Structure formats: C-alpha cells, structure tokens
C-alpha cells in the first residue's frame, strides 16, 4: 500500500510525464510546419513513448491501492527560433524530468517503500537514455551549425540516432 505522501508524489509525476508527451507533440507540430519530416516522426514517436510512461505510473498507483489522478496540463511552447533552440529546450526538459524521478527515488527510500523504489529504477535508467539522446542530437546540431545541407541530412538521419543504455552502470 502506498503512503499518502508517496501517492501524492507519484501523482505529480503523472502530470510531468503527460506534459512531456505534450512537449514532444508540440515540437513535432513545429518541426512538421518547418518541413523537417525526420524530426517530426522522431518527436511523434517520443510523444507516444512519454504517454506510455505516464500510463505506467497510473497503473502502478492504482495497483498499489492508491488513486491515480489525471490533472490539468500546462501548455507547452509551440514556436522555436530554430531546431537548435528546440532541442536545447528538450534537453533542459529531460534534465528536469530526471530530477523529478530522482526526487521520487529519494522519497521511496526515506519511506522504505522498496516496491516503489524498484518500480522507479526503470525510469532512472530511461532518463539516463533520454538525456544522452537529447545531448547527442544537440551535439550534432551544434556541429552542423546553420548549414542547410547539413540540416537536411540531419533531418533524414535523426531517426537512426540512438544511445546505448547504461546497462552496467554502478548503482548509488
């Protein structure tokens, strides 16, 4: 059974995950209006992935005797000055999500809620991948600069950009 404190913290994460899905969706729409088909597909796919992350929290809370609450969402930005700016904002967003997940892990350990701690480990690993992926993409855009040909090739190749998961990372 979840404590009220843990339930409340997990419900706050539902909102963060839902807003992450919205952020990626808004970025997909922006990229689509700019003609970046590869970036658009990448963002739509990640929007769906973030929604699945949210649903895992909903199901977990309910399965542990809590009540998952679906709340109102903040409107994400809909315009960006450039792809570089968009991916910079995405990287910053993923760092914020990682901090939130880490805060949940901290609460679970304080409360000796080892089931929730175990559940959250998947998210810890996922955020390592998400941050690394956003950083990799941002690094590539920084290398390209304003070269239109480079941006064209980047757009075509963005779906192939992956980061290997840190499967053997030391635990703290």
Domains in the chain with CATH codes: 4-160 (1.20.1260.10)
- Report which of 166, 169, 171, 13 is spatially closest to residue 101, judged by C-alpha positions: 13
pLDDT at position 145 is: 87
Q: For tokens 């404190």, name the residue.
A: 5
Instruction: Answer yes or no: is 94 a known binding residue.
Output: yes
pLDDT at position 148 is: 85
pLDDT at position 162 is: 56
Instruction: Answer yes or no: is 53 a known binding residue.
Output: yes
Angle at 110 between CA 107 and CA 115, to 5 degrees: 70
Low-confidence ranges of the chain (pLDDT < 70): 162-172
pLDDT at position 146 is: 80
Q: Does an H or E element contain 160, and which?
A: none
Q: How far apart are CA 35 and CA 92, in angstroms?
A: 24
Alpha-carbon separation of residue 119 from 101, 102, 104, 124 (angstroms): 11, 12, 11, 10
Instruction: Answer yes or no: is 50 a known binding residue.
Output: yes
Structure tokens at 50: 């973030």
Q: How far apart are CA 92 and CA 15, in angstroms?
A: 17
pLDDT at position 170 is: 42
- pLDDT tens per residue, range 52-66: 999 999 999 999 999
């Amino acid at each position: 059974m979840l404590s009220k404190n843990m339930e409340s913290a997990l419900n706050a994460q539902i909102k963060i995950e839902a807003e992450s899905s919205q952020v990626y969706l808004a970025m997909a729409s922006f990229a689509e209006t700019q003609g970046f088909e590869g970036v658009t597909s990448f963002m739509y796919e990640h929007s769906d992935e973030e929604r699945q992350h949210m649903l895992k929290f909903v199901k977990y809370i309910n399965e542990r005797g809590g009540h998952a609450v679906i709340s109102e969402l903040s409107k994400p930005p809909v315009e960006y000055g450039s792809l570089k700016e968009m991916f910079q904002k995405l990287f910053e967003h993923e760092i914020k999500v990682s901090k939130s997940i880490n805060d949940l892990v901290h609460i679970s350990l304080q409360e000796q809620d080892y089931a929730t701690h175990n559940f959250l480990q998947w998210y810890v690993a996922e955020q390592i991948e998400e941050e690394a992926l956003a950083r990799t993409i941002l690094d590539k855009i920084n290398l390209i600069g304003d070269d239109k040909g480079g941006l064209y090739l980047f757009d075509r190749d963005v779906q192939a950009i992956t980061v290997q998961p840190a499967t053997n990372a030391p635990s703290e």
